[in-house]
Copies of this chain bind each other. A is one copy, B any other.
Amino acid sequence: MAFPSDLEIARSASLKPMDDVAAEMGLPQHLLEPYGSDVLKVGLNAIDELADAPRAKYILVSAITPTPLGEGKTTTTVGLGQAFKHIGKRATVAIRQPSMGPTLGIKGGAAGGGYSQVVPMELLNLHLTGDMHAVTAAHNLLSAMVDNHLYQGNKLGLDLTEITWRRVLDMNDRALRNIVVGLGSKSDGVPRQTGFDITAASEVMAALALTTGMDDLRGRLGRIVVGYTTEGEPVTADQLDAAGAMTVLLREAIKPNLMQTYENTPVLVHCGPFGNIATGNSSVVADLIGLHCGDYLVTEAGFGADMGAERFFNIKCRVSGQRPDAAIVVATVRALKAHSGKFRIVAGKPLPEDLLAENPDDVHAGAANLRKQIENIRLHGVSPVVAINAFPTDHPSEHAAIREIAASMNARSAVCTNFAEGGAGAAELAEAVAEAADEPNDFAFLYPAEATLREKIETIATKVYGADGVSYAPLAKRQLNTYERAGFGNLPMCMAKTHLSISSDPTLKGAPTGWTLPVREVRASVGAGFVYPICGEMRTMPGLGTAPAAARIDLDEQGEIVGLS
């Protein structure tokens, strides 16, 4: 019999009543609001009310540089969360809300996989409690206020060619990347070029993920810079009188969503900022709650350790004031083989056949990437643990090769079979993580807030990416000077770089050396609270492929969803 599909497994789950899931976390009833029977919203008062409860160990799940297919980081995160119960501990999982665009596009869902899933997966993958739509609405309200300001006479003197605020939709829609608005007659607005990004790329999403509460959110939204005047002065959402209504639209979305895994482990699902131009981490408020709900809080950061983990340490933890206790680097045989540089993996295409043959030497040939990502965890004073996410096509000798690489770096490691076996398959990982988290905590930021913007960029580029240095395009230099002058110099840095290489060149595998990071331009998410240098082509609106997932999704004769994976 074939291994059942993710959707079939998810359907077979024995869901525990959500009130029981919450009660086991110590969340009192008055903080909970049901949204249907399978998800609760958790009120923000939980942060204060739980402050005296014991603090959980704070575990980050990161990874080596992934292939375009992803390496099962969410599956490992969910599996580890489940595994703690198998070693007698209580854990909570905190993950991002999947973006619906890719779910309907090429990717399918993002609930983990196999017997390590968040359930019901169709709820997680489609709408959930509407937070994503609330972000869309708040973002586009500001967009409408910008264009209405132009239409009503442009009293603030916005330079039409310097408006940086676009619109967003949670959809893969390439035709909206570059558009001209305001066509038609005089009453139809002011013509100008702009475009749509996917909602995950919205600065509102990043602000929501980084906020610590309603007042803080109101402040962040007000500081959003939508563009510049003809004199070069920034124009903010507060100047357009939009931030109050935007905050009101996010009144429910600021509350984390509580779901459960296949094995009834609690999961806080909250926010989904893009991993390339934003932080790629779930929300601060979910973590501030989850850190007082058990023995371990397991959260996930997007892409490899050079990307999501670096931002987790230097942006998210700086805002939250929390210190991580251990960090996992998820590795797979196929990805390490790919880092040997001998294979090319393309999303939507079958894996190369010789990549699937037993060959531990190919795994060793890709070791540099794993070593560098372990080092990137250690750079922040955090204990690394290597999780080997096992695939049915792997060979024991190849898993052994990964363990040897980890051992050579003095890092703990464990083979994880939780996709096929659930939490029990990650029990060894849970033991290793527990040991790592008990080591002395030497967590430290990579750079101080007071460092200049250039110093921050150069520190990340040389220490984390292994670059020789940084080259700035003239535009980037001007922008850095502008931001320093405007008082944005103390913001942390969120490098917009490819996730497919530690370098800025997606074709370079392993741990490239002897290269210079090119910074083409620099943008500032002043409201969310970071500066992001653009180091390569960054796509902020995906497209649909030749065979979109949406074309397969339907209801069967029993009214059950089919085609969602």
Contacts and interface: CB of A to CB of B under 8 A. Distances in A.
Contact of A137 (B127, B549, B551, B561): B127
A187 interface: yes
Interface in A208-226: 214, 218
A346 interface: no
A553 B183 contact: no
Nearest to A148: B544
Nearest to A176: B181
Contact of A36 (B41, B137, B183, B188): B41
Given A137-B133, A151-B175, A193 B187 contact: no
Contact of A175 (B169, B173, B188, B218): B188
B177 A184 contact: yes
Contacts of A544: 144-145, 148
A141 B104 contact: yes
B193 A174 contact: no
B182 A175 contact: yes
A248 B140 contact: no
Interface stretch (A238-246, A275-283, A307-315, A385-393): A238-246
A245 B179 contact: no
A506 interface: no
Interface in A135-149: 136-137, 140-141, 143-145, 147-148
Given A104-B245, A183-B178, A144 B173 contact: yes
A122 B247 CA distance: 13
Contacts of A37: 33
Interface string A156-188: 000000000001011111111111111110011
A249 interface: yes
A245 B554 contact: yes
A134 interface: yes
A198 to B, nearest CB: 11
Contact of A171 (B137, B178, B251, B546): B137
Contacts of A193: 183
Given A130-B130, A169-B140, A543-B187, A174 B147 contact: yes
Interface string A539-556: 000011010111111110
Contacts of A553: 244-245, 248
B551 A242 contact: yes
Contacts of A187: 174, 543
Given A148-B543, A180-B180, A181-B179, A555 B244 contact: yes
A148 B174 contact: yes
Contacts of A188: 174-175, 177-178
A188 B122 CA distance: 30
A126 interface: yes
B189 A177 contact: yes
Given A170-B137, A548-B145, A127 B249 contact: yes
B180 A551 contact: no
A554 B244 contact: yes
A100 interface: yes
A448 interface: no
A151 B546 CA distance: 9
A34 interface: yes
28 contacts: A33-B34, A33-B37, A34-B35, A36-B41, A104-B141, A122-B248, A126-B249, A127-B137, A127-B252, A137-B171, A140-B171, A143-B173, A145-B550, A148-B174, A151-B175, A169-B169, A174-B182, A175-B188, A177-B183, A177-B188, A179-B183, A180-B180, A189-B543, A214-B555, A244-B554, A244-B563, A245-B549, A245-B551
Given A35-B35, A175-B190, 13 more contacts: A127-B134, A127-B252, A129-B130, A140-B173, A144-B173, A144-B175, A148-B543, A174-B182, A177-B188, A214-B559, A244-B563, A245-B549, A248-B553
Interface of A: 33-37, 41, 100, 104, 122, 126-127, 129-130, 133-134, 136-137, 140-141, 143-145, 147-148, 150-152, 167, 169-184, 187-190, 193, 214, 218, 241-242, 244-245, 247-249, 251-252, 543-544, 546, 548-555, 559, 561, 563-564
